């Protein structure tokens, strides 16, 4: 655990210290930017924060490669090479989009390229940890892997609408998956607690937490396209590292532990962004619009319309993400009899805080009606 704590602290420090430098350099490119109607800020803000996140993550990988604790993870450098190359593509694609506003199909092709790079370096879903379900055809393994990566990147992208929202949700997701992966490793082997999923999520957790103080409302920098794509890619690769056969027979050990649910947890991490993504696509198709066309009707926009401030809306979404994550992870640690009342109490607490303005408005309207 000390090695993971070191990596979290290191990536946090690099991200925290590097972000103001990136912001200072990026201010030279914000002069021609326009504030869009759906934006919550009133003046152009630097969108290159993803550079700091990616740099912190990459430098953290370099540090981890020098620690003997992670010798097993770096025994095969092919997956790590794929991750680094994918980050480079994401960096170029994200910066180009933030500066020149690329067409949606260009970004889509870039995302597929990122997924292809990951799959081409051996990070593919070869089997699912449900019984002995094997994906035999290599083209299907690659297709499913690319689909998962593109889906996760877009889900994180759709959540990046309020100051600190995407970074906070990513940190909660990374922390959840880190705890799961680490505890899983302790059950798998008493000698080697290192695994790729925990490594990736520890670095992502530190990088997002280091960026968050600069990005929380009122934000002075945004992570931009490079940040959301990098976060989505890292989370999806961490998922594949646990549910797939990235480390050959090592992943077979994971499927032999029925108490854990490696299929469910990845969905929990991106539940809110994916829900928002699905609802947005359905809404736009129903209105005969492109599913990629932007609007101001996401979950966080609706919370603002209910009367929540930007900060409160973000914190409430943090609480919902934490509630979903804790509810699922607790299944692995807490008896169901004790878990159910805890989940109900947490749901009532978060739900009351979320819908309080709406309930108060309804009560005020009812009192006025009765007074007449």
pLDDT at 121: 95
Mean predicted lDDT score pLDDT of the chain: 81
pLDDT at 101: 84
Give the SS3 label for residue 356.
helix
Given pLDDT bands bounded at 50, 70 and 90, which one contains residue 246? Answer: very low
Given pLDDT bands bounded at 50, 70 and 90, which one contains residue 231? Answer: very high
Give the SS3 label for residue 164.
coil
Which tokens is 247 given? 């480390």
| Sequence-distant (≥ 6) Cβ neighbours of residue 105 within 8 angstroms | none
**Is the distance from CB of 16 to CB of 22 less than 8 angstroms?**
no
Residue with token string 């998962």 = 148
Given pLDDT bands bounded at 50, 70 and 90, which one contains residue 32? Answer: low
pLDDT, tens digit (0-9, with 9 covering 90-100), for 129-169: 555 567 778 899 899 899 989 988 887 887 776 789 889 98
169 vs 207, which has greater pLDDT? 207
Conformation bin of residue 123: beta by default, left when phi > 0, alpha when psi is -120 to 50: beta
Instruction: Give the CA distances from residue 77 to residues 62, 73, 204, 251, in Å, rounded to whole numbers and listed in that order.
Output: 12, 8, 19, 17
Q: For residue 202, is pLDDT > 80? A: yes
343 vs 287, which has greater pLDDT? 343
Q: What is the pTM of this model?
A: 0.83
pLDDT at 351: 85
47 vs 248, which has greater pLDDT? 47
Give the C-alpha separation, 318 to 171, whole Å: 10
pLDDT, tens digit (0-9, with 9 covering 90-100), for 287-325: 777 666 666 666 666 777 777 777 888 888 888 888 887
Lowest mean pLDDT of 133-137, 173-177, 261-265, name the range: 261-265
Residue with token string 């609408």 = 161
| Domain ranges for the chain | 2-371
HSE (side-chain half, CA atoms, 13 Å) at 191: 2
Alpha-helix runs per DSSP H in 101-219: 104-120, 138-158, 165-188, 196-215
Smallest CA-to-CA distance from 269 within 199, 206, 197 is with: 197
């Amino acid at each position: 655990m000390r090695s993971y704590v070191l990596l979290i602290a290191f990536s946090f420090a690099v991200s925290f210290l590097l972000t103001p430098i990136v912001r200072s350099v990026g201010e030279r490119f914000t002069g021609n930017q326009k504030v869009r109607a759906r934006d919550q800020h009133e003046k152009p803000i630097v969108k290159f924060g993803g550079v700091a996140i990616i740099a912190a993550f990459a430098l953290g990988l370099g540090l981890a490669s020098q620690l003997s604790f992670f010798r097993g993870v770096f025994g095969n450098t092919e997956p790590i090479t794929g991750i680094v190359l994918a980050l480079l593509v994401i960096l170029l694609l994200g910066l180009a989009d933030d500066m020149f506003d690329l067409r949606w199909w260009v970004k889509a092709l870039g995302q597929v390229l990122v997924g292809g790079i990951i799959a081409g370096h051996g990070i593919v879903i070869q089997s699912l940890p449900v019984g002995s379900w094997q994906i035999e055809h290599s083209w299907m393994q690659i297709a499913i892997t690319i689909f998962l990566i593109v889906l996760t990147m877009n889900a994180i992208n759709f959540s990046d609408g309020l100051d600190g929202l995407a970074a906070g949700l990513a940190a909660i997701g990374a922390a959840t998956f880190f705890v799961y992966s680490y505890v899983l490793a302790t059950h798998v082997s008493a000698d080697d607690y290192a695994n790729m999923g925990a490594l990736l999520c520890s670095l992502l957790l530190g990088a997002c937490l280091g960026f968050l103080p600069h990005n929380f409302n009122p934000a002075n920098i945004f992570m931009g396209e490079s940040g959301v794509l990098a976060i989505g890619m890292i989370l999806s690769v961490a998922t594949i590292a646990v549910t797939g056969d990235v480390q050959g027979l090592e992943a077979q050990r994971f499927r032999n532990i029925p108490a854990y649910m490696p299929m469910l947890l990845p969905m929990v991490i991106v539940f809110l962004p994916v829900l928002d993504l699905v609802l947005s696509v359905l809404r736009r198709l129903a209105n005969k619009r492109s599913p990629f066309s932007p609007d101001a009707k996401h979950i966080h926009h609706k919370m603002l319309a209910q009367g929540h401030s930007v900060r409160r809306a973000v914190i409430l979404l943090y609480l919902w993400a934490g509630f979903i994550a804790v509810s699922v992870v607790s299944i692995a640690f807490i008896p169901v009899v004790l878990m159910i009342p805890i989940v109900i109490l947490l749901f009532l607490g978060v739900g009351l805080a979320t819908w309080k303005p709406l309930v108060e408005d309804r009560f005020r309207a009812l009192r006025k009606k009765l007074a007449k």
